[in-house]
Structure 1
Amino acid sequence: MERVDSLIHARWVIPVEPEGAVLENFGVAIEAGRIVDLAPSAELNSRYTSGQVRNLDQHALIPGLINSHTHAAMTLLRGLADDLPLMTWLTEHIWPAEQRWVGEEFVRAGSTLAIGEMLRGGVTCFNDMYFFPEQTAQAAKDAGMRAVIGMIVINVPSAYASGPQEYLHKGLEFHDKYKDDPLIRPIFSPHAPYTVDEQWLTQVRTYSDELQLPIHMHVHETADEISGSLDQHGKRPLQRLDEMGLVSPHLLAIHATQLEEAEIERLAEAGAHVVHCPESNLKLASGFCPSAALDEAGVNVALGTDSAASNNDLDMIGEMRTAALLGKAVAANAAAIPASRVLRMATLNGAQALGIDDLVGSIEPGKQADLAAINLNEIELSPIYNPLSHLVYATNRQHVSDVWVAGKNLVREGRLSTVDKTQAIKQAEYWRSQIAAENSKSV
C-alpha cells in the first residue's frame, strides 16, 4: 500500500467538475498538498495508508469556495453606516473614514479579521482590491490562505500612494515580490473607469498583456456611473474600455448591474468574465446583474461578496443562495441558475476568472487540496434528497466544519487553527472605538 499525507472520506463528495456530480461514500488521498486520488472510500482504503485519516460520514466535501471580489480590510467598517443612499454612504462616511484611518496597521488588522471569517465559512481563496496590498498578502500567508491580491490603481491619493504613477510603481514591485509565491497571486486592480484616467488604464492594459495577468475592475456598477460616462465622454463605460483594448479574456468586470443585450454579447465574444456580488448590489440598490442572461450567452460568471462594509458579511454560502434566488427572479425563470451552476460560480468559475483553475476550483487529482466540509447531519437540514441542492438552499456557513488549503487543516471542527480569533476580535474592537468616535463628530 502507498503511504500518503492524509485521507479524507465523506458521505458525499461534490467535485463540481463534472457539474452536478454527487459521489456517495467517496474520498480523496492527499500528498504534498495535492489531491492524488479521488475514489470510493473502500478503494482508497485498499490503495493507501496514512497517519491522518478523517471520516466525515455525515458531511459533503466540496472544493474550497472562492470569493472573487472583496475588500478584506474594510471588514473593520462593517455596519459603520447602514441603510443610506450610496453616495451619502460613500462621501459622508466610508471615504472620510478611509482617509482618516487607512494605513498598514488598519489593513493588517482588517485583513486578518476577514480571513478568519472567510475561512470559517468555507472560503479558501479570495480576490482582494485595497490599499497596502502587502499587508493583506502577509495576513493571508500567515493564515495559510490562498489569495489573489490586487495591485490597485486610482486617481485619488491615499496614505499608500500619491497618484496613479506611484500606485503602478508599487504594484509592479508587489508583483515582483509575489509572482512565484505558492499562495499569493498578483492581479491588476484599477478601481473603475470613472476613477482612473485613460492614460493609466491604457498603461495597465499594456502591463497586463506583458505579464499575462488579469485585470479586476468595477464596471457598470450603477446607473449613475453610466449616465456620468455618457455626459462626460458620450459613451458607456464598457465601450470606452473596449476601445482601449481592455475587454478581453483578462477582464474581470465586477458588479455589471447595468448591461444591455449587445454588451452581454460583446463580453461573451471577448471571453471576459463577470463577478456577481448580489447582496452588496441589493443593499446599496445598485441594480441587478443579469446573471442568467450572461450565463446563457457563455460569459463566465463568478461570485463575490464585495466588502463587509456594504454586505455586511463575507459569507459565500449565503451569497450562493442569494445569487440563485435573485437570478431566477431577474430572469423570470425558476429553472435559471440551478444549484449546480451557482456552486460552480462560487468555485471553478472563480478560479477560471482568476487564472488559477489549473490549481483549484474542483476536486480532481493533480489539483491543490483546497477543500471544505459541510456537516449535513442537522435537524434543520433533514431530510436530504439532494445534498448539492441542500448546500445552496438549506445550509449556512455555521454548518462548515473543516477547511483545508493545500492539504493543511486550517479549520477543524469549526475552530480556526492559524488565526487567533480572540486577538482578531480585540483588534476589531480597538478600531471600532476609534472610528466610531470620529464618525460621530462628522454627522
Structure 2
Amino acid sequence: ACVGFPVIQVETQWAREPREYLDKGLALVAEHAGQPLLDFALAPHSMYTLDEDMLAEVSRVSEESGLRIHLHLLETGFEIEHALAHHDTQPLEFADRLGLLSDRLIAVHMAHLEDADIGLLAERGVHVVHCPQSNLKLASGTCRVSDLVSAGVNVCVGTDGAASNNDLDLLDELRTAALMAKGVSGDPCSVDAVTALDLVTVNAALALGIEDRVGSIEAGREADLCAVDLASVRTQPVHDVISQLVYAAAASQVSDVWVRGRRLLAEGELQTLDEARLLERVDDWSARVAHGRPRASRVAS
C-alpha cells in the first residue's frame, strides 16, 4: 500500500495545523522505513487547503525525500476561481511555480483541462488519476483521458473516497473510464480494452514508483496477482479475454488474490481477515457515527 499522510489546514484529533501534520507524517515514514509492502506519500488534499508557504514546503520535502505527492487537482471549477482570486493565476501554473509539477506528483481528477495544461503535464511527467464515477456523481467535470494518453501522460484509474463513489469497485470504475473516454472524445476507438487495462496495472505501478516490482507478469517481478473467474454467465461467451474483463466482469468474479506470492483471497474467501468480525466492527462504527444508536448484530451470539 501507498499511504498518503494528510497535510492540511484543518484541525483533527491527529494534528492541529499543517506543520504538525507534516512532522507526524514524516515520523511515520521513518518508523516504517524498510517495510516492503508499505510506502508513503504527502497528501495535502488540494491547492486550496494550504497556504502558499506550506504548499512550497510540501514541494521541498518531496524533492528532498523522494516522497510522492497525492493531490486533488482541477477537480472542480471552484479551484480555478479560487486560484485566480487568491493567486492571480491558473491552478496548474500556480502549482508549477511552486515546483509541485514533477514525476513525483499524482494528480487526482484533472477534470478541467485546457490544451496547454495537457502539454505541461506531459512535459513535467505528472501522473494523472482519473476517478470517473466520482466526477459523474458530483457533476464536477470530465477528464480528457484520450487526449492525455495521446500526449504521453501516464493515466491511471482511481475510485476517490466512498462518500463520492459508494462501492469502490475498481473493475466497475475501469469500465466507466473506458466508456467515458469514448464519449468525451467522440471516438469509439479511444482507450480500447488493452489501453484500459494498462490504466490499472502498468500505469498504476509507474505512478506509485514501483514499476520495477509490480504491474505486469514477468520473470523477476513480485507475484502480485488477481484471478478473475470469467466462467459466469455474465461473461460468457469469451471471445476476447481482455475485452470481457474491461467491459463485462464484476468485482464479485474476483476469485483469488496474491500479494508478493501470499494468497490473501482463495476462491472468494478472505484468508487473513475474519469477515464476520469485520462486519461486527462496521456495525459498531456505524452506531458510533449515528450518535450511539444501537444496531442489530450481524453475527448470532
TM-score normalised by structure 1 residue count:
0.65
Whole-Å separation in 1 of the counterparts to 2:292 and 2:134:
25
1:281 to 135, 152, 165: 135
Partner Cα separation in structure 2 for residue 182 and residue 155 of structure 1: 31
Question: Where in structure 2 are there 5+ consecutive unaligned residues?
Answer: 294-301
Q: C-alpha deviations, 1:195-239, integer Å up to 9, x for none?
A: 011111111111111111211101011011111221222111111
- Cα distance, 1:438 vs structure 2: 7.6
Confirm or deny: 8 A CA contact 1:258 1:287 kept in the other structure.
Answer: yes
**2:191 counterpart of 1:323:** no
Q: Distance in 2 between the 1:366 and 1:306 partners?
A: 32
Superposition map of 1:162-311 within 5 A: 162-311=16-165
Q: Is the 8 A contact 1:178 1:186 kept in 2?
A: no
2:21 counterpart letter in structure 1? Y
| Structure 2 match to 1:149 | 3
Whole-Å Cα distance in 2 between the matches of residues 174 and 237 of structure 1? Answer: 30
Deviation, 1:277, is 0.6
3-state SS of paired residue (1:254): strand
User: Are residues 1:159 and 2:13 paired?
Assistant: yes
Deviation digits for residues 276-319 of structure 1 (CA, Å, limit 9, x no counterpart): 11111111111101111111111000111111111011111111
3-state SS of the aligned residue for 1:352? helix
- Aligned equivalents of 1:366, 1:320: Cα separation in 2: 27
Report Cα offsets for 1:365-399 as digits up to 9, x if no partner: 11110001111112221111100100001110111
The SS at the match of 2:107 is strand
1:136-156 Cα deviation digits (max 9, x unpaired): xxxxxxxxxxx0011210011
- Structure 1: give runs of 5+ residues left out of the alignment: 1-146
How many residues align? The count is 293
Q: Which amino acid aligns with 1:210?
A: E
Structure 1 partner of 2:297? none
Q: Distance in 2 between the 1:418 and 1:286 partners?
A: 38
Where 2:41 maps in the other structure, the secondary structure is: strand
Deviation beyond 2 Å, 4+ runs, structure 1: 436-439
Secondary structure in 2 aligned to 1:194? Answer: helix
Between the aligned residues of both structures, percent identity stands at: 46
- Aligned Cα root-mean-square deviation (Å): 1.2
Look up the SS of the partner of 1:246 in the other structure: coil
2:227 matches 1:373: yes
SS in 2 for 1:191: strand
Instruction: Indicate yes or no: 2:240 matched with 1:411.
Output: no
State yes or no: 1:399 paired with 2:253: yes
Q: Distance in 2 between matches of 1:438 and 1:337?
A: 47
Partner deviation per Cα, 1:159-210 (whole Å, 9 max, x = no partner):
1101011011001101111231110001111111100111111111111111
Matched, 1:425 2:293: no
In the alignment, residue 222 of structure 2 is paired with which amino acid? Q
Q: Structure 1 or 2: larger strand share?
A: 1
Q: Report the CA distance between 1:250 and its aligned residue.
A: 0.9
